Amino acid sequence: MPLITILRAEPEPPLVVEITPGGTLFEAGAKAQAGIDTACVGKGTCGLCRVRIKAGAENLNPYTDEETKHLGNVYHITKVRLSCRTKPTGDVTIEIVRKKQPRLGD
């Protein structure tokens, strides 16, 4: 079963979670309580559940139509995928990407 490593801000240690075959990175994040953003709860309609692939890209399903809609076709530059549409077949390391960063003082 794939092991998903979720990198966090220093000095927090990474979260490591095992998921069943066919599961998504979004499900792995939920299992690890990693705090992946969502408004649609994994249906692929909001585009908020962004993760950056740090290692193991060869273990992922092809880019989906929903990802193209929300992220464009610049994966080769950004390495960002929608976690709810990304299904690993092997070990993967990710970091959570926030669509909007909070402003200082908020």
At 20-38, the pLDDT tens digits run 999 999 999 999 999 999 9
User: Three-state SS for 36?
Assistant: coil
The percent of residues above 90 in pLDDT, for the chain, comes to 87
Region 77-106 average pLDDT: 85
Please check whether residue 7 is in contact with residue 54, taking contact to mean a CB–CB distance below 8 angstroms. yes
3-96 carries CATH number 3.40.630.30: no
Residues facing residue 92 across a β-bridge? 4
pLDDT of residue 104: 53
**Considering Cα of 70, then 60, then 20, then 6, what sign does the dihedral take?**
negative
Region 89-97 average pLDDT: 96
pLDDT of residue 32: 95
Mind giving me the DSSP string for 50-74? EEEEEE-GGGBPPPPHHHHHHH-S-
What ranges do the domains of the chain cover?
3-96
pTM of the model: 0.90
pLDDT of residue 1: 92
